[in-house]
Amino acid sequence: MNHPFNIKLIPASEMSSIIPLVSLLNHGEIARSLLEKRLKDMLLLGNYECIGVYDKSELIGICGIWTLHKFYAGKHLEPDNVFIKESYRSKGVGKLMIDFLVQRAKEIGCDGSEVNCYLGNEKGIRFWEQQGYKPIGYHFLLKFD
């Protein structure tokens, strides 16, 4: 498929470029300084990467990817914090990112991919199902004060 976008893994030296889009994803509810700290901590783990989609030099979409190992899923990639600027939605950018993710997963010997999606995100649920993902359970979170 021909598209006008460039897609690549964002180098560690450019990773801070994702913060404005992550902030939009979280509706500005998380302070930029906290997002920057969390990104630094995530990068220190060594199993986090991020796909960037660019329109010329403008970053228009991101998809964080975790390389994980679980008993039920084996080695897999987990897309995380997937966000596309509103004016670029429904233009194939999400599909482009998932195709890139699947190719990356196969290159590094993964058995598959797993994703979490918020219950109320009906559009997101439809998207993941269209990409071949099957719902298998609930994702729970316990936050400490």
DSSP reduced 3-state for 19: helix
* Separation CA 116–CA 32 (nearest Å): 23
Look at residue 49 in the predicted model and tell me its pLDDT. Answer: 97
DSSP reduced 3-state for 37: helix
What's the one-letter identity of residue 77?
Answer: L
Question: 112-113 and 6-9: which strand pairing?
Answer: unpaired
Q: What is the mean pLDDT of each run of 10 residues along the chain (145 residues)?
A: 85 96 94 97 96 96 97 96 94 94 96 92 92 91 90
Look at residue 139 in the predicted model and tell me its pLDDT. Answer: 84
Cβ–Cβ under 8 Å, residues 113 and 131? no
| Cβ atoms within 10 Å, residue 101 | 22
Look at residue 120 in the predicted model and tell me its pLDDT. Answer: 86
Topology, domain 6-116: Aminopeptidase (3.40.630)
Query: How do the domains of the chain map onto residue ranges?
Result: 6-116
- What's the pTM value of the predicted model, to 2 decimals? 0.90
